[in-house]
Amino acid sequence: MADDKQESSLADNLARVRERIARAAERAGRRPDQICLVAVTKTVPAARIREAVAAGVTDVGENYVQEAAAKRAEIGAAVTWHFIGHLQRNKAGQAARLFDIIHTVDSVRLAEALSRRAQQLGRRLEVLVQVNTSGETTKAGVPPEEAGALVAQAASLDGLAVRGLMTIGRLQPDPEEARPEFRLLAALAEKLRRETGLDLPWLSMGMSHDFEVAIEEGANLVRVGTAIFGPRRG
Ligand SMILES: *Cc1c(COP(=O)(O)O)cnc(C)c1O
């Protein structure tokens, strides 16, 4: 019964998330349609993703290359595929083939591997530079003071288009705890736009528990899983 209820409420969950996005955008003086919702589908089976697509989802986020390969074979290019997990260099080839945008570039060597693979595929791959804004040692991403160098180096590589920055907020029950990190990322992007002349239109920040705070601080790519699909099992 509980499962049935969860299944049938996907469209409701999605509508609620969209409503919350709209209200947060309005609080921040921005239009709701300027915010792109990435539905995070790790552990979510392809049939559920299809259901989400039928309910209006246009962008999906996956954390694991292997898992995404199987689902992409079923779902195809009807949606934009975002890679949001930690990417190992030996998976760069597969990632460049499967995904439209990689949120988690955190080293020059990874950027170079993606550049090489994208060129082999004859495509221009969009990437974001992941920044560790909390300073937690368990977190991936470059320290804020190194982001500029990585953005500039990645932007110089053929086959890549650097499109912005990404961060994961501090995972605390109170989303306000992550606000300074979101604010830092937004300020950093603004500074890098000035210094590099690059567009850097995307700020990927905010998950189920903190996307409203992230939007208030300037996020326009939010990565939401649990609030749409329910708790992940296993
Ligand atoms: C899993 C994940 C998300 C989604 O998390 P929820 O709390 O389920 O919304 C967002 N971003 C990243 C990087 C993730 O790994």
Mean pLDDT of 116-130: 98
Percent of the chain past pLDDT 70, that is, above it, reads 96
208 lines ligand 1 (CB under 6 A): yes
* Residue 88 contacts residue 66 (beta carbons within 8 Å): no
pLDDT tops 70 at residue 114: yes
Contacts 24+ apart (CB under 8 A), 78-87: 78/53, 79/53, 82/38, 82/221, 82/223, 84/38, 84/40, 84/166, 84/204, 84/223, 85/42, 86/140
Question: pLDDT digits over 54-78, tens only?
Answer: 999 999 999 999 999 999 999 999 9
- Is the pLDDT reported for residue 34 higher than 80? yes
pLDDT at 135: 93
Mean pLDDT for the chain?
Answer: 95
Q: Is the pLDDT of residue 1 over 50?
A: no
* DSSP label of 201: -
Report pLDDT for 234.
Answer: 56
For atom 13 of ligand 1, the residue with the nearest CA is 84
Distance 225 CA to ligand 1 centre (A): 6
| pLDDT at site 3 | 52
Res. 6: pLDDT tops 50: no
* Residue whose CB lies within 8 A of the most ligand 1 atoms, among 17, 223, 228, for a mutation test: 223
CA of 73 to the centre of ligand 1 (A): 22
224 lines ligand 1 (CB under 6 A): yes
Answer whether 8 contacts ligand 1 (Cβ < 6 A).
Answer: no
> Does residue 5 surpass a pLDDT of 80?
no
Task: List alpha helices for the chain, DSSP H.
Answer: 2-8, 10-27, 46-54, 65-75, 92-98, 108-120, 144-155, 179-196, 211-216, 226-229
Q: Which atom of ligand 1 is nearest to the CA of 38?
A: 10
> How much is the pLDDT for 233?
75
Rg (CA), the chain: 17
Residues 158-172 have a mean pLDDT of 96
Contact criterion met (CB below 8 Å) for 225 and 232: yes
Question: Region 9-14: what's the mean pLDDT?
Answer: 96
pLDDT at 157: 98
**What is the Cα–Cα distance from 93 to 220, expressed in whole angstroms?**
27
Cβ of residue 111 lying under 6 Å from some atom of ligand 1: no
CA of 218 to the centre of ligand 1 (A): 18
Angle, CA of 213, 215 and 220, to the nearest 5°:
150
Please, what are the domains in the chain? 2-228 (3.20.20.10)
Using CB atoms within 10 Å of the CB of residue 218, give its burial: 0 to 12 exposed, 13 to 18 middle, 19+ buried: middle
Mean local confidence (pLDDT), 23-35: 97
